[in-house]
C-alpha cells in the first residue's frame, strides 16, 4: 500500500479546522521564505524577479483562500474526501498553481501524490 493510501483514513478524519490550519501555516512560511522561493522560481522556471514575487504571493494566496473555503463550506462528512489524488505542476507556474492544487486537495481531506513537471 502506498503512503498516500495508508495516510488517507487518518488525514480525511482530521478535523476541518486542523486541516485548514495547514495551508495557512504554509502561506506564512512562504511569506517568511520569499527570497529563497523567488530564487528557485528565477533559476528553475526562468521567472523575472517581478514574476517570481507574483508567483510566491499567488501561491500563498491560494493557501489562504482554500483554507477559508474549507472552513466555510466543509463539514467533516460533507462533502467527503475523494482519497489519494495526483497533482502535477505546470512548467510555467511551478509554484503557484501546484501549491493551489495541493492545498485545495489537502484541505479537503485528500492525500496528495505530487509530481513536478519536466520542461520540454
Please provide the average confidence, as pLDDT, over all residues in the chain. Answer: 91
Whether 32 has a pLDDT exceeding 60, the answer reads yes
Domain residue limits, the chain: 3-115
The pLDDT score that the predictor gives to residue 90 is 87
Check whether domain 3-115 has CATH 3.40.1370.10, yes or no:
no
pTM of the predicted structure, to 2 decimals? 0.89
Is there a cis peptide before residue 79, judged by omega within 30 degrees of 0?
yes
| 118/31: higher pLDDT | 31
Whole-angstrom distance, CA of residue 31 vs CA of residue 52: 13
Whole-angstrom distance, CA of residue 66 vs CA of residue 104: 5
The pLDDT score that the predictor gives to residue 119 is 59
Distance of CA 44 to the CA centre of its chain: 19
Whole-angstrom distance, CA of residue 66 vs CA of residue 105: 9
Of 20-24, 31-35, 83-87, 114-118, the range with the lowest mean pLDDT is: 114-118
* H helix intervals, 1-120: 3-12, 16-32, 34-45, 49-73, 96-107
Give residue-wise pLDDT tens across range 59-78.
Answer: 999 999 999 999 999 877 67
What DSSP string describes 60-80? Answer: HHHHHHHHHHHHHH--SSSSP
Give residue-wise pLDDT tens across range 75-115.
Answer: 776 778 899 999 998 888 889 999 999 999 999 999 999 98
107 contacts 19 by C-beta, under 8 angstroms: yes
The pLDDT score that the predictor gives to residue 98 is 93
Amino acid at each position: 500500500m502506498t503512503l498516500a493510501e495508508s495516510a488517507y483514513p487518518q488525514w480525511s478524519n482530521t478535523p476541518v479546522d486542523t486541516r485548514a490550519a495547514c495551508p495557512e501555516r504554509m502561506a506564512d512560511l512562504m511569506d517568511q521564505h520569499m527570497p529563497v522561493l523567488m530564487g528557485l522560481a528565477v533559476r528553475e522556471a526562468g521567472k523575472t524577479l517581478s514574476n517570481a514575487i507574483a508567483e510566491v504571493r499567488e501561491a500563498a494566496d491560494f493557501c489562504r483562500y482554500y483554507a477559508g473555503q474549507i472552513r466555510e463550506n466543509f463539514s467533516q462528512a460533507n462533502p467527503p474526501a475523494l482519497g489519494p489524488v495526483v497533482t502535477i505542476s505546470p512548467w510555467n507556474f511551478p509554484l503557484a498553481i501546484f501549491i493551489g492544487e495541493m492545498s485545495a486537495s489537502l484541505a479537503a481531506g485528500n492525500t496528495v501524490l505530487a509530481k513536478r513537471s519536466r520542461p520540454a
